[in-house]
Every structure is written in structure tokens, then in C-alpha cells.
């Protein structure tokens, strides 16, 4: 089954999206199908196109757009997965629309209260930290956070081969008394030891880029703000330092070597390196790319989608929240 | 009146704290009084010491510690301000304890529901962004966020001379529909236009280090996590880049000049540059330094405390939330 790629979602759609999809097909031998209105997609570079008639803009209210535009690209893509015509959906378009389309068309894994967006944060020299929820659920109940912890651990295992991922709650201090009432209630459930994960307590915002933890759990409001803050700070500091090096007269001889080294380092720290976020908890593999996704990000997303399908991610997630299904 | 400095609060207390206080007195001509148990403080470097008998550890639950230890350094410091024996309190110790001591001993400004911690975030080439609440109130009511917006604007004006600060709510998207129910309710009140501030809507985590906004308002849970995340990411990327430059053979000739330049840049991006956070809403000037405060941070904190006393910050804050007192 092919990976379905939303060809008209993203700031650089369709050009970068189609280019990335074509590269994934050519260089990685992955079967890909594009989704979009034929006239909007244009040149498909030889890839199969499943036509649709509507497009959801980046600035539309996602859930509402999905209810109104039943022939929009993420909706049609999620239907392909539901109907067994595609193995996974990749969209770099409107995040709310992709979440709503996957939720309404693929449905939830049995027992999952809410799907969550899981984003790997690069930790140089170590496996990434999986942050969830990165934005699907601005307000969460404690039980949902517990499920995010279970699904996040299963994902870290499937995706990064971490045998017993260390799972923590993001909080405003390490002590169990810190956090909101919701987070403290989740803390109590997680530390009870009956949810099948290795809970290590609270971590703070400064621990995310370190090797202190493998899975960091929070609500989608906080998770989104922290993620965007980290992305912004990383890019900002890297750019400022590269500028300083490339404009220093003393560095004239070294700059041609140093600047590419620093750019490679900045790229390694960019969350895009991992091909986007995964929507965990829906009945299918669904990758949500950054709106600014380049062809490179789309290649990575398609490769990860294929890997997660082959690894049986959906079954693994189902088992993670059902103790009686656990192996 | 002298600035009271908690000599036994902070990871590097008392040495760095006393060194910073002494430097502020010598180089800036600011009257300073230390607070702490004489035997724990040791050499006061000629500064006056107000003795106390208890110390609050960094890991104690702050509010509880303040209730139990009535002779602890932040409590005695806050009493000096209340009793007109000091003009301001500076503490780099347990944040919760400093907040509780200031709240319980100085009291709140009339009409203020909750004090908030305001932290300036460096924005190179522009005035800083004031982030609040950075941790005093993990859970907030919408009305509190509105007061944070009013106090944050007054502070940005008093501290950084911004005539009409642009105030925004931190949210997981720019649209008014984004955020938690609490944030949306605050959004409605702020956009009503009757609270005396220039409200510009929502900003995202990635906007904080940019010149997009002057005051960013959120609850203390989210604010603390975003702040720690930014601090961590900034330091992490800066260190990685400095390492890369200093270890590259090609940079051998340039490194002695480049590395100090990059270090200076990293320092300019460090929130500590601004001398710590300000507790807004209590009846006195109270600066809460980072636990890791160095002598440099304490000097900055004492200088800022003195400036804010001279600028009449407390009266300015009182007027910001009382329309009938506004000038």
C-alpha cells in the first residue's frame, strides 16, 4: 500500500511537497500517492494522483473546515487509509485539519480518549526526546495525560529503539507538588506503577534538549508553546552565531569551513530533522509535517511513515494502553 | 533606604551574593544591607548585616517554609521593606519562598488579585520582551491574566521606557479561538479595549525572542516551562556552536577572537543579563534572581531594584490596574 501525501498542504505546497514525495519514491523505493486537485498540484513528477476538489487553507479553523469541506485533501487522504487504499497519511498543511480528518475518518484506537501529537526533539549525542501533546488538545484531563505517557513510550520504543523509555511529566519544578491540579493528578496515576511505563517524575523546560528523559508529557497548550519556543530559540541563536562568524574579519580564512559546519549543527538541532510529528492514537499512521516543510522534511516524513507502518505502530499503541493486550 | 539582599539564598550563596552586593555598593554607590545568619554569611565585605536565625533551602516547599520559618532570610527581608527600613528586596534563593515572603509580609497592592513574576527576555537589537507570569501562579483565572497584562505594560514602560507597550497573550496559535478556555476568556476581556493597554492579540512561543511584542502574558505553569525551555535551548545551542568553533582546526587562528565574540553574544542572550525577575503586584520592589545567580547577576539585580524604587514602580503598578488612578 502506498503512503498518501497531501500535495496541497503546507507553506511551500505543491512544489516542495511533490518534490519530496518524488524523491522518497525514487531514492527510497517507497510507493507514494499524491492527493490534491489536479490543477492545483500541476506536475506530479510521475507519481499517481488521487484527485480531490477542495483545499483547506493554513489559516482556516481546522475542525470546522474538515466538517464543511468533505472533499478536501486531508479528508480524502484519511479516507484512503481508512479504506485500505493507503498505509499512511502525510500532511504538512493545516494541523487542526489534519488532526480532525484523521480523527473523524480513521477513528481512534479502541480505548484511546484523545489522540496526541508527538514531536521528537533532537538531543545531539543521544536519542531524541519525544514531546507530546504538541498541540492537539489544549486542555487535558489527567487520564488523557496518562494515555499520552503510554503511547509516547510505545512510540519511543518503536521509533528509536529505546527498550524502556524514561517517561516524565513536564512541570514547573521537579517536586511532585508542582504543576496544575491536572498535572498533579496525572502524576499520582503515573507514579502508581500500574500503567506499564517507566515513570521518572517531573522534568522542567530546560531538560528537554538534554538526555534526562526520553518521553516528556504535557497538555497540548503548554506543549505547543514550549515546542515553538525551543524551535524559535534554537534557530535564533544558531543564526546569530553563524552571522557573527561569517562577518568577523578575523574569520575570513576559516569562515568557508566553519559556516557550513555550524549550519550542519543548526540543522541537526532542527526538529524538522525527524520528518515531522506523529499523531498517536488514531487508527492509522498519520504524520503532521511543519507548515514550513521543505522537500527534505517530506522525504523524511514519508520514510518514517513507511517505517512505522512496517513496525506495526498502531497495534503497538493499542497494546500500550490495554494491559491485557500487552506482550 | 538600602536595598536588602538575601545573602544566604542561591546556589552560590553566600560568596557570589555578598560579592555582587559589595560591588553594587562600591561601583554604583547603592546602599545595601545583607540579610542572613551571621555565621552562615561570614565575611560581609564591610556591608551592614541584618542577622536572622533561619535559612530556607532551595528544595523546600516555599510557601510552607515561610509559614514555619518566621526568622528566615527572605521573611526578614520582606519585613524590612514593609517596615520602611529597606526600599527593596533581592533574593536568588527559593523562588516560592521569596514570593510567599513578599506576599505575606509586604502584602498586595490594593486591587491586585495575585502577584506575578515578570522576566525580561533579551531581544538583540530591540528592547526585551517581558514574560509574565514566569511561575508564581500555576493556575490562573482570566481576570488575573488581565491584571498581569496591565502590570506587565506598566513595568515595560517604567523599566525599558516603552511608551505604549504591545501586550499579547501567549497561545498555541494566533487566532482568537486558540488557547484554553481561561486564555480565551482573558482574550475577550483584553480585546474589549477598556483595560488601558495596547492589546495586540495572541503570540506563539517562537515570537518571544523577536521584536513582535513587548509584554507576553500567560499562566505561571506555561510561563515557567517556556522560560526554562528558552534558557535551556539558548545556552545549549550557544555552547555547541562555541565548542564547534573552538575545536575546528581551520579556526585555529581565528578562535582566540571568535570565541570571546560568541561568548559575549551568548551572554547577551542570557536572561540573567537583566538581573533577574521582578515580582509585580506586591507592596514593595522585590527582585527574584535565578538560583544560579553569579555576582554579576546580583549587581544587576541591585541596580534594577534601586532604579525601580526611584521610578516609583509600586505606585505605577497600582495606577495600572485602577482606571480612576490612571494619569
Residue keyed to cell 515553538: A228
pLDDT higher than 50, residue A327 = no
What is the tens place of the pLDDT at every residue in A162-189?
A: 999 999 999 998 888 899 999 999 999 9
Task: Select from B175, B178, B181, B237 the residue whose CB has the most chain A CBs within 10 Å, as the one to mutate to test that interface.
Answer: B237
Whether residue A61 and residue B175 make contact (CB cut-off 8 A), yes or no, is: yes
pLDDT at residue B254 in the model? 81
* A262 with B250: Cβ contact below 8 A: no
Nearest to residue A282, comparing CAs of A195, A185, A155, A158?
A155
Per-residue pLDDT at A323? 66
Q: Which residues of B touch A237 (CB under 8 A)?
A: 233-234, 237-238, 241, 266, 269
ipTM associated with this complex? 0.90
Q: Could you give the angle at which helices B255-268 and B220-247 cross, rounded to 10 degrees?
A: 180
Say yes or no to pLDDT of B185 above 70.
yes
Q: Which of B139, B177, B254 is closest, CB to CB, to A180? A: B139
**Contact, A166 vs B189, CB < 8 A?**
no
Ramachandran angles phi, psi of B77, nearest 5° = -65, -45
- The half-sphere exposure of B121 on its side-chain side, counting CA atoms within 13 A, is 31
Q: What does the pLDDT look like over B165-175, one tens digit per residue?
A: 999 999 998 88
Lowest-pLDDT range, A13-22, A290-299, B103-112? A290-299
Spatial separation of the C-alpha atoms in residues B184 and B265, rounded to whole Å: 37
Give residue A39's pLDDT.
96
Q: Which residue has the cell 500555576?
A: B138
Residue A132 confidence (pLDDT) above 90: yes
E strand residue ranges, chain A: 3-6, 32-36, 48-51, 88-91, 116-121, 129-132, 166-170, 198-203, 215-217, 277-280, 285-288
A194: its cell numbers: 500500574
Is residue B29 left, alpha or beta, with left meaning phi > 0 and alpha meaning psi from -120 to 50?
left
Q: What tens digit of pLDDT does each residue of B3-48 get?
A: 999 999 999 999 999 999 999 999 999 999 999 999 999 999 999 9
Q: Under an 8 A CB cutoff, do B225 and A124 touch?
A: no
Single out the residue of B250, B267, B236, B205 nearest to residue A266, CA to CA: B236
pLDDT in tens, B283-326: 999 999 988 899 999 999 999 999 999 999 999 999 999 765 55
CA gap B157, B149 in Å, rounded: 12
Searching chain A, which residue's CA lies closest to the CA of residue B249? Answer: A254
In angstroms, the CA B93 to CA B232 distance is 20
In this complex, is the C-beta atom of A262 within 8 Å of any C-beta atom belonging to chain B? yes
In a 3-state reduction of DSSP, which class is residue A121?
strand
Among the residue ranges A194-198, A316-320, B96-100, the one predicted with the least confidence is A194-198
* pTM of the predicted protein model: 0.92
- Confidence label for A263 from pLDDT (cuts 50, 70 and 90): confident
3 state SS of B88: strand
More confident residue, A39 or A272: A39
Q: Which residues contact A202 (CB under 8 A, 6 or more apart)?
A: A168, A169, A170, A171, A173, A174, A175, A176, A178, A179, A187
CB contact under 8 A, B237 and A232: no
Residues composing chain B: 327
The reply to whether residue B241 touches residue A207, judged by beta carbons under 8 angstroms, is no
Neighbouring C-beta atoms of residue A209, cutoff 10 Å: 25
Amino acid at each position: 500500500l502506498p503512503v498518501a501525501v497531501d500535495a496541497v498542504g503546507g507553506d511551500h505546497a505543491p512544489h516542495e511537497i511533490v518534490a519530496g514525495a518524488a524523491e522518497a519514491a525514487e531514492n527510497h523505493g517507497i510507493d507514494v500517492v499524491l492527493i490534491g486537485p489536479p490543477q492545483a498540484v500541476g506536475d506530479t513528477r510521475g507519481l499517481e494522483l488521487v484527485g480531490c476538489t477542495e483545499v483547506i487553507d493554513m489559516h482556516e479553523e481546522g475542525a470546522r473546515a474538515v466538517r464543511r469541506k468533505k472533499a478536501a485533501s486531508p479528508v480524502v487522504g484519511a479516507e484512503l487509509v481508512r479504506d485500505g487504499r493507503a498505509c499512511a497519511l502525510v500532511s504538512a498543511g493545516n494541523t487542526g485539519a489534519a488532526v480532525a480528518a484523521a480523527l473523524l475518518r480513521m477513528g481512534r484506537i479502541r480505548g484511546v480518549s484523545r489522540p496526541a501529537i508527538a514531536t521528537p526533539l533532537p538531543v545531539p549525542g543521544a536519542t531524541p526526546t519525544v514531546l507530546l501533546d504538541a498541540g492537539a488538545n489544549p486542555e487535558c484531563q489527567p487520564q488523557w495525560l496518562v494515555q499520552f505517557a503510554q503511547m509516547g513510550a510505545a512510540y519511543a520504543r518503536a521509533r528509536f529503539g529505546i527498550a524502556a523509555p524514561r517517561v516524565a511529566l513536564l512541570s514547573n519544578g521537579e517536586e511532585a507538588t508542582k504543576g496544575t491540579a491536572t498535572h498533579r493528578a496525572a502524576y499520582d496515576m503515573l507514579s502508581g506503577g500500574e500503567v506499564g511505563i517507566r515513570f521518572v517524575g517531573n522534568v522542567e523546560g530546560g531538560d528537554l534538549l538534554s538526555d534526562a528523559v526520553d518521553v516528556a508529557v504535557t497538555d497540548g497548550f503548554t506543549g505547543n508553546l514550549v515546542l515553538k519556543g525551543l524551535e524559535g530559540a534554537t534557530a535564533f541563536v544558531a543564526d546569530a552565531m553563524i552571522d557573527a562568524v561569517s562577518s568577523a574579519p578575523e574569520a575570513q580564512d576559516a569562515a568557508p569551513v566553519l559556516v557550513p559546519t555550524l549550519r550542519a549543527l543548526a540543522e541537526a538541532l532542527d526538529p524538522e530533522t525527524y520528518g515531522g510529528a506523529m499523531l498517536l492514537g488514531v487508527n492509522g499512521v498519520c504524520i503532521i509535517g511543519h507548515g514550513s516543510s521543505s522537500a527534505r522534511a517530506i522525504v523524511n516524513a514519508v520514510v518514517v511513515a513507511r517505517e512505522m507502518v512496517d513496525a506495526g505502530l498502531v497495534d503497538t499503541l493499542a497494546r500500550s494502553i490495554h494491559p491485557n493486550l500487552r506482550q
